[in-house]
Structure formats: structure tokens, C-alpha cells
Structure 1
Amino acid sequence: MNILGFFEDCSSHGQIAGSQRLPPTSTVASVTVSDVTGEPAEVTSVQENGKQSRNLELDSANQEDRNRPQRGVQLAQAATQVWTTKQLVLLYILYVPPFFPHIPGDGLLIHQYSIWLVQFVELFANGVVSTLSPYVTSSFASHSLLATSQIVASLCSGLIQLPYAKLMDIWGRPKSLVLMVACQTIGFIMLAGCNDVRTYCAARVFFQCGYRGIILTVLIIIADTSTLRHRALWIALSSTPTLATSWLFGPATDSIGRGIGWRWGMGVFAIVVPVVCCPLSGFLYYYQRKAQKMQLTPTPESHRSRTETFLFYVREFDLVGLFILALGLALFLLSLSLYSFQPQGWRSPVIICFIIFGGLLIVAFVLYERFWASSTFMPWALIKNRTVFFTYTMDCLLVAAFSIWATYFLSMLVLVWQQSITHSTYILNIHAVGATLSGLFVGIAVLLGMRLKYLAGFIAIPLLFLGAGLLYRFCLPWTSMGTLIMTQILLAGGMGSLIITVQLTVMAVAGQEQIPALIATETLMADIGAAFGSAVSGAIWADVLPRKLAEFLPPEDVHLVPEIFGSLFVQLSYAPGSVIRDAINMAYSASLRYMLITALCLYAGCAFCVLCWKNVELGKRGSEKGRL
């Protein structure tokens, strides 16, 4: 099925027209026609017919380019034929050091490559950056802008997945991976050198775009090389670095805070990430070249000039649609977190304009992509599939619900329950560890024949409701750590199971050439959910916390509300057990309860979406071109 989706039927007419060639211009030149003045029009006729022939040839060439897999997909398919099973296992799991340079049976020189190693470094770096974020924003007296920075980063990283998926199809996996590594490296450099919250937000955008791009590339590589029935298990195995990083970046962050400082702690990854990720790109590129030398891919033919090629790819990347969507989402989501900084709040003309024009632009994007765009990001033909539509919807709601209550949960662990940074990251990382272990469970269950709908509906969704409900009941300053950890385990099991079922469900209805677009759209929906959740969390935080602080603080200390609200350092400066610290703790707990009520409502929406899925059997659907 063509990734252009709905426009496939419309474009077939152009293909028929393009296949009809005019007679050679030499035969046309022998015909003369008199115009109104009686003078021959031989030259004009030749020029016009020649121009029409050229246009029809270009239309036919463009249509042929759209109908066949893009060059990057062809190279990925060819490389899959060259790899042996032993080499793929090494690619997925193992680390080959420089002193063991040859893979048996192949003779390829390799220095440090492995999907597992790339995942390890990326997850570790993301954990360090996320944990340090509250302290970075507090150092600029802008702790309340933590949600805003996450909104911008999530929004931009989600939107960049759409053109990046097409770029992978055009350039291939290796070159695209190098681009994302460069983007993330720029982010690390900016994080290390930022001197205000604006630069920090921009740095988070670069970091987040690179991080999500690298993770997407790894997922696509797994999809290229595995069969659908085994794919869940391979995805889960590639995520097992979480079992190690979850216990490492907490102590590392603690040491960074007490030692070299957050600037050096983030800047060191500007060296580590390229050193680890680029060899993987070189490995992929080697096998693509090997497939080309074996003539497993067709030789690319260019039908266009450089100008025509540039204009063609401008249309392919749909820059107009991307701009409309980015502007609409930015206006709408930022209004939810920035309203508290306006004197009139929700009644501020700026906030009202943001909401109205943001919503209109989002609707305009859907209409533009559906009816006017010559090339679309959204695979409309597949999105009309009931299962795909409700899978995307559930993914957005699931991530939004998590972001709503988790955005300020680290701050609450440190302040209310008096946990160190190390212990706080351990508690938060229960989600990462639980998601990995539940992913392994889902992979084995799918391998044994269990349906995704049953896994999601009878196991994952009940765990989410139970975990969130218990957390709502026990989010009080005197709650024991054991009770909190129990709620996190339940939430982690439910969310981890749903995430991997979402990925498998959208892969089950697509061919290999459509998987990047579908996964990119799924990633976009998740990032929109994260941005929406952070926006709602920021809105609740900005509205409830100051009000509750004024309610719980002694009357003589109410004037301290703005100072306390703006900085985690100020909040921690009050001794545990003091009147002001107890008031802060109660205000935090009240704010988290509002967030959990909202999250429970979204989890109910997730349950409805699962009910609307078709009962897909993975063994009979989707692409089966993989080797593992």
C-alpha cells in the first residue's frame, strides 16, 4: 500500500496520462499550420509539443518515484538480504571491541557497534538530562517553567519525526542516523553553555529532537530486520539497557551535582554520544554498499534537473503542512502553561488568541493534508483503519496522562518525601524497568499466540487504573515509601505493556515501506500527548499550588508565596517539620491529586480505545521480510 494513502487513487489518473508519449518531434515538425495572418506556425508547434512531452515525462517520472519504494527503503531491503543471522544477533545485542576485529565468516572490520550499546548511552544521557532539569531551571529562578520547556521540546521532537521518516526513506538509515547524532550533540553543547532559561529551552529542543530521532532509527532498523511475530521480543530485548541505566544515572547525577556541576555533566555527552553512535551508522553503510556491489538494488535513474529535484523534495517534505501544524500546536499548548504569567489569566486577550488561532490552525492542517497537499505525512488510507485510528488516539491519551502527574513528581519525591536525588531517580525508574520487563512479557506472550487486544484490555488497562487510583489515595506526606513503590510498579506494568502493543498494532497493518511513516506518526501522537500532558500539568500547578500555599501557610507568611512557588531551592531551604515546610508539603499533595484525577479520566479514554481495536492476529498480518 502506498504511503500517500488517500491520494493513491487520485494519482493513478496522472500515471495513465504520463504513460502516453507523444510522437517524436521530428514527425511533428513536418506539419505546418497557418495562423490568423496566414504565416506558418511550424516552429511554434514543435516547441509547444516538445514542452508538453517534457512535462508529461516529468509527471510520469514523479509518479513512478511515488509508486515504487524510496531509495532508502530499497537499500534497507537489500542490506537485509546480505546480513547473516549471526551478524544480526551481534548488531542487536553484542559489543565487539577493537581487539576482536573480525566477525566470523565475513571478515568485516568493526570497531564498537551495537544497537544495545547505542540504547544504553541514549537512555543514560536522557536520564541525566531529565533529572538535572529541575535544578537547571531553578538556577535561573524559573522552576515553574519546567513544564513549558518540556512542552516545547516534546512538540518539536514530535513534529521533526514526520520529515525525518521521509528522510530515512530517501537518504537511507545510516546518513539519517548521523544527522540525528549531530543534532543531539549540538543540544548537549548548548545545554552546557546556557546562561538563561531561553537558551536552555532551545538546547532541550535540539537534544530531544536528536534523542527521539536516534531511538526512532533503532526501532526502524529492528522493523527492517525482524519478522512481525518476533518483533515484540526483539524490541523488548533492545530496551534491556534500561535495567542497567535506571540504577546508574541516579548516583551519577548526584555525583555531578556535588562535583563537576550540571554544565560539565551534560557537556561530556557531546563527546560520548558521537563516539558510540557513529560506528553503528558505519556498519549499516558498509552493508548497503555491499548490497549495491552485489547488484541487489536497482541503479537510481535521475529524470530531473537539480532545480526540479529540489522542488520535488520540497513537495515531498510538505513544508507548508509542517509549518501550519507546528504553529497551531505551539499556540494551543503554550497557552495552557503560560496563562498564569498573564495579569488577567484565562481572560487575557493573548491567551484567548492563542487558543482560538491554535485550534483553527490544527483544523486547517487536517483539511490541508486531506484535500490539498500534493504529498502528505499522514498515511490517510491506514489512519482510516479503525484499529490504527484508535491506537493513535490511545497512545496520545496514555502519554498525556503519564505526563500530567509525572512532570513534577520528582520535585515531590525530593521535597515532600525527603528522598535524595539518587533514591528519587530509583523510584521514577521503576517505570523504565517495569516497561522493559512487561515488554519482555508481551513479546513472549505474542510469540505464544496471545492477541494484543486481550493483553491490553485484560492486563494493561486494569493495572493503570489500580496504580493511579492507589497513588491518588496515598499521595500524602506521611505515606510510606513501600506504598509509593507499589503504585509505581502497577503503573509501570500497565504503561509498558500498552506502549509495545501500540507499536506492534500499527506495524501489523503496514508493509515495510510504510513502517517509518506509521511509526513517525505514532511518535508524533505520543509527543503531542506529552506536550499536552505537560501543558495541563503546568496549568494545574500554576493554578493550584499558589492557592494551596496561601491556604496552608500561616497568615504572617502568605507574602512568601511567590518566592516559594518559583524555586525548588527555596522550598528545600525550610527545615523538615517546620510550619512552612509542612504547608508546602500539603500544597504539593493537593496539586498532585488534581493531576491524578485528570489522568484517571484519560485512562478511561484509553480503555474505550482498546475496545474499538480489531482483534489482530500478528502471524497473518504485516510485513514478514525480516530475518530474525
Structure 2
Amino acid sequence: MSTVLDKEVERTDSSLPQTSEIDDKVSTIANEEKSHGLNRNIEYAGVSRIEALYVVFGTGWKIWLLYISVALIAYAYSLQSNTTYNYTAYATSSFGEHSLLGAISTATTIISSVGRPFIAKIADLTSRPTAYLCSLALYCLGLILMAACQDVNTYAAGSVIFTVGSTGLDLVTTIIIGDATSLQWRGFAQAVYAAPYIINAFISAYIAAAFGVDNWRWGYGMFCIIVPVTMAPALVVLFWADIKAKKIGTISLAAASYTRSEDLHKDGKRSIAETVLYYFHAIDGFGLILLGFAWSLILLPFTLSAEATNGWQNPSLIAMETIGWILLISFGAWELWGARYPLMPSRVLNRTFICCVAIDFFYQCGGYIQLLYYSSWVYVIKDWSLRDYTFWTNELGVGLCAFSFVAALLNRYTHQYKYTQLAGIVIRAIGMGLIFWGVGPNATDATLVMATLVVSLGGAFSVIGSQVASQASVPHHDMATAISLLSLWSSLGAAIGQAIASAIWTNMMPANLEYYLAGYANSTEISEIYGSITIARTQTPEIRAQVVKAYNQTVQYPMYLPALIIAVIALIPALLTKNYYLGSNQNAVETKKVIVRDDIDENQLASEMDEKDKTNVAA
């Protein structure tokens, strides 16, 4: 069994630590908590209960049942991700609205990124399985809306809800992995979690080919059944263990120091309205709303300007931008002076964490400038079968997962991450350079495959480094916050990249098509080609050759060159991170390490910890 709150790595058959040891450890953790500025007015119940949960599982078949259950989730989640990745282009094209791909992706990314801290707060304030259940409900609702939609607006709404749920499932699993593993194995555990992508990349190609371009609705709908069924064992196991852990009480050493005892006992006397208001403050609900609206109003005009009357001179777009920036400034003021429990508490904003956020922000921003319409471009210029095209679109994900094992093992046996990450950023920049070069006559099969392979190699080294370093830089009770904030700002980087790419595409592609198709197609036909990649691909060879020229003109210098430059900029914050020693600690700022204990007498331990809680409350 793994738990994360002891000073030494040990395996013992003793049923209970000595009372003096508990006293010393509670005192140590209280001092650590004080030094990191933990606000004692809030209870991190999820942290306490996940540690109690590990005591319930022990080291036998129960813990393996948990591992297998989580593995089922990982497999189903990766199968869905690999399969549905291509359906957005097909869905928007089926409504003749392929140009809205950027707007939908931008809105989806913004809302889902703001939802990540919300899910993380649920995981900390309630429990990990509760956060799983909330995420699953949103996930299924979004899939249903996308599968049943009759217009692009319903599809977009479903996509937003689905993405919030999907990222929630991924986020909670990442938090659980961080709870249970030491720094030296953290990256490897993340790589194992992502491993099903390697297998499913090939399986999903056959699934996508079987459904074809026209049956994308069934491609979404099937996962409304598959994912809940595969998640059921994990939910049953986790809720069973959580209920049993409650009987033990605040069993972890951290629980005694995190428990807001007075308010906790008052919770039962609160009205429903008071309880809702309390948790609204606890998740910084107002801050999340400000942030979501701010970035939506700032970025969406970039994707809508080409369709708006008079473009950027349209008063509505000007108003959206103005209000968006006002709201973003208001968000900063709220976080500094108004929020009881800030979304970004100052205690987690250390140099390494800020640099990791910057690295991933640049990674996602530049990556999505290049990536958003990359698969659409390849679909039009190449004569690959749908199966081969799906194989290629999954190459990046497979490479990231496979090379994550290499990065994780380098971290494990060198006990550092910094130089591995620096090498990864350089390698990824080389891959982005290949993508920039591989346009027009250089767009051979070998170039497209090799460029993606190199990008995935460098990306894996960079991503694993940021994940491990950001979690290492904060104490355990702030880990979920750190994970969600890293995910939040990297997702906002992706949203900015998508907005830039969408603005370039919607403003330049129509003009390029009109230029290259002059004398080949009329305005109606050009509009149809612009609105659907399937129509663009099925033109006569003569017309398609001109379409390919328009696509190349739109993507190479306007999209791929900025993406390359941003990939190089990520080197600057990477040089400024602290190269933590990756050992058996849960993090690099506390003395807590992962321990293994067998045959714990739960009743005895619960009784003693209850006495400790009473003593701490009295103190």
C-alpha cells in the first residue's frame, strides 16, 4: 500500500506506529503547513480521505483491484480520445461550417480550462471518487448532445460540456497518481497511465474507417455506453473504500493538521444556502467566472472577425475585446484583494512552478497555431486512405506516450528532470522546423511522418519534465491546485494558439482560394470548398491542385513559422527552473516520503487518531 505522509521509506509488519512518532510527525507537518502559508480556514477533505483510502486497500488484492479499475478507465479514455479526435472536422463539414472549427475549439478549450480548477477543488473538498462521478456525468451529457445534434450550435455546446468532463476524468486520475507515487516514479506512473494510447491508436484507425466520414454520430454515441461501463468498477471500488475510510476517520497524519475542526462541526448546522455559499467561496467561483468570461471575450473575436460585418470595425467585436480586458484586469484585482481562497494562492507561485507554467503555455500556444488545421491540410493534400490518415493523426499521441517512458526512466535513474526537459525542447523545435520546411514539394510521406515523430520525442521529454517539476515544487496539500493551474494556463495557451490559427485561416484562406481558383470555380463552388475538407479533397485533379496551393499559402509562413519561433522561446523559462533531486519524497519541499505498511489494525488506529484530533482541536 502506498501513502505519502511519512519521513522515511519503510516496510513494516507492525500494526501501529508509536504514539510519540505520531506526535512528532503531526508537529512536523503543522510547521511545514505554517511555512507554506496554508489557510487553516478551509478543510482539504479530499487529501485526508485519499490517504485514509490507501490504508483501507493495504498491499494485497484490494490495491490491485484499484489499479486494474483505474487501468480500465485509462484504456476507455484513450480509445475515445484516439477515435473521436477526427470527428470534429467531419461534424463541422457535415453542416458546411468547417471554418468554425477554430471558434468551436477555442471556446471549448477556454471553458474546459477554467473547469479544471473547479474539478480539482471538488477533488480536494469532497473526494477523488466524487470528482470522478461529476466528471463522468458531464462527459456523457456532452457526448449525447454531440451525437444527437441537428446544427453546429448544439454540437458546439455538447463539445464544451464533453471536454469539461473529459479533462476532469484525466485531471482526477493525474491527481490520484500524484497522491500515490514518489517523485522518482511520478513520470513513469504518468507514462503507464498514457500507455493505452499506443495500442488504441491502431485499433481506433479501424473503428474510424468502419464508421466512415458520414457516421460520425455513432462514433460519439458508442462511448456513452463504453466509458460508463468501464468506469463502473473503479467508482464502486473507490466509493466503497471511501466509505470504509470514513469509519477510520482522519487516519492520515496530514488530516489532523488540515482539519478545520470548529467549522467542520458547524457544517451540520448550516442551511443549504450557507453551505452552497461556503463552497462557492472555497472553489473561488467568482474568480473562475471572471476568468472564463474574460478569455472568451478576448479570444473569440479573433475567430469571428472574418465572418463579422466590417471585420474588426464591427462594434460588437470591439465591445467584446474591451469588456474582456476589463474582466481580465478585474480577475487579477479579485485574486489579490477579494478572494477568500484565491484560485492562484501565492504559496504555490514559486520560481520553478511559474517557469513550468510558462514552458507549457508556450508549448501549447505554438503547438496549436501549427496543429489546429494541420490534419485538415494533410487530409486535403494527401491521397491517404481514411485508415492510413487516422494512423498518421494518432502518430503524435503514440509518440508522446512511447517516448514518455524514455523520459520517465531517464528521470528515475538520473534523479533529475531539467536537462532532459531542455533536450526535449530543443528536439521539439527541430521537429517544428521540419514541419515548416515540409510544405509544397517537400510534403512527402517520409517528411510528414518524421516531423511528427521528432515533435513527439521532444514533446514527451518536455511534458514529463513540467509535470514532475511543478508537483515537486509544492507541498502535498497544494498538489491538486498545482496540477490544475498548470493545466489551466497550458490550456489557455492552447486557446490563444487556436484563436490565432483560426483568425489566420478564416481571414486568409477565402482570399487564397479565390486567387488560385479564379477561372476554375465560381463563388458558390469556392464557398463549398472552403466550408468542407471532404468537398475540397474530392475535386477534379486540376481544381484540387489549385486548392492545395491555397492551403500551402495559408499555413506555411502565417502558421508554421510563428509556431517554430514560439517553440524556441520555451527554452528561456526552462533554463530558470530549479533542478530538484527526484527521490522517494512525495514532493521536494516537504520531508514526507512514500511508505508501505501491512496489516494495520484500523480500529486501533482510528481510535488513536480520534484522540489526536481532539487534542489538536483543544490546542
Partner of 1:324: 290
Rounded Cα–Cα distance in structure 1 between residues aligned with 2:63 and 2:248? 23
Letter in 2 for 1:262: W
**8 Å Cα contact 1:226-1:626 kept in structure 2:** yes
Q: Are 1:591 and 2:554 matched, yes or no?
A: yes
Q: Which residue of 2 aligns with 1:391?
A: 356
| Kept in 2: contact 1:92–1:238 (CA 8 A) | no
Q: Return the alpha-carbon distance in structure 2 between the equivalents of residues 145 and 87 of structure 1.
A: 50
The residue matched to 1:448 in structure 2 has which SS? Answer: helix
2:469 pairs with 502, 505, 526, which one?
505
Aligned-pair Cα RMSD in Å: 2.4
In 2, the alpha carbon distance for the partners of 1:443 and 1:83 equals 26
Shift of 1:264: 2.0
Kindly indicate whether the alpha-carbon contact (under 8 Å) linking 1:80 and 1:224 is maintained by their aligned counterparts in 2: no
Q: Distance in 1 between matches of 2:242 and 2:593?
A: 17
User: Which of 516, 519, 523 lines up with 2:480 in the alignment?
Assistant: 516
1:370 to 331, 336, 342: 336
Aligned residues: 548
Matching residue's letter, 2:404: G
- Confirm whether residue 606 of structure 1 aligns to residue 570 of structure 2: yes
Per-residue deviation, residues 429-465 of structure 1 (Å, max 9, x unmatched): 12111111221111111111252211111x2112112
- Please state how far the C-alpha of 1:336 moved relative to its aligned partner: 1.1
Q: Return 5+ residue gaps in structure 1 as ranges.
A: 12-62, 95-112
Q: Look up the match of 2:231.
A: 277
Please name the residue that 2:509 is paired with. 545
Per the alignment, residue 111 of structure 2 pairs with 156
CA deviation string 1:412-440 (max 9, x = no partner): 22210122222122112121111112211
The separation in 2 between residues aligned to 1:397 and 1:6, in whole angstroms, is 34
- Could you tell me which amino acid in structure 2 is paired with residue 483 of structure 1? T
Q: How does 1:122-137 map to 2 (within 5 A)?
A: 122-137=77-92
Structure 1 residues 531-570: aligned runs within 5 Å: 531-555=495-519, 557=521, 559=523, 560-570=525-535
1:300-337 residue CA offsets vs partner (Å, 9 max, x unmatched): 74224323333222211222211111110100110111
Q: Quick one: which amino acid aligns to residue 345 of structure 1?
A: G
Asked if the contact 2:107–2:296 (Cα under 8 Å) also holds between the matched residues in 1, the reply is yes
1:494 correspondence with 2:458: yes
- Matched to 1:210, the amino acid is G
> How has the CA–CA distance of structure 1 residues 432 and 6 changed in structure 2, closer, same or farther, with 3 Å as cutoff?
farther
Letter of the structure 2 residue corresponding to residue 544 of structure 1: M
Q: Give the alignment of 1:473-488 within 5 angstroms.
A: 473-476=437-440, 479-488=443-452
**Is contact 2:432–2:567 with CA below 8 Å preserved after alignment?**
no
The aligned counterpart of 2:376 is: 411
Q: Secondary structure at the match of 1:557?
A: coil
Q: Which moved more, 1:609-618 or 1:326-335?
A: 609-618
Whichever residue aligns with residue 443 of structure 1, its letter is A
Q: Secondary structure at the match of 2:195?
A: coil
- Measured in 1, the distance between the counterparts of 2:213 and 2:472 equals 48
Q: Which letter does structure 1 place at the counterpart of 2:427?
A: L
| Paired letter, 2:182 | T
* 2:96–2:528 CA contact under 8 A, matched in 1: no
Matched, 1:287 2:221: no
* Structure 1 residue 88 displacement after superposition: 7.6
Question: Compared with structure 1, are the counterparts of its residues 441 and 622 closer, same or farther at alpha carbon in structure 2 (3 Å cutoff)?
Answer: farther
Unaligned stretches of 5+ residues in structure 2? 1-28, 597-619
- The aligned residue for residue 110 of structure 1 is none
**Cα pair 1:119 1:239 within 8 Å, conserved:** yes
SS at match of 1:492: helix
1:617 to 567, 581, 591: 581
Determine the C-alpha separation between the residues in 2 that align with 1:536 and 1:435.
24
Greater Rg over alpha carbons, structure = 1
Deviation at 1:239, TM superposition (A): 0.9
2:198 aligns with 243
Identity of aligned residues (%): 26
The structural deviation recorded for 1:65 is: 4.0
What's the TM-score, normalizing by structure 2?
0.84
**Is the 2:356–2:573 Cα contact (8 Å) retained in structure 1?**
yes
Structure 1 length-normalised TM: 0.83
Query: 2:238, 2:589 → 1: CA distance?
Result: 24
Partner of 2:22: none
Q: 8 Å contact 1:544–1:591 — kept in the other structure? A: yes
* Aligned AA (2:310): Q
In structure 2, what is the Cα distance between the partners aligned to 1:88 and 1:391?
36
Verify: 1:143 aligned to 2:98, yes or no.
Answer: yes
Q: Partners in 1 of 2:45 and 2:335 — Cα distance?
A: 24
Residues 1:118 and 2:73 aligned together:
yes
Cα displacement (A) at 1:409: 1.6
> Contact (CA 8 Å) 1:226, 1:625: kept in 2 or not?
no
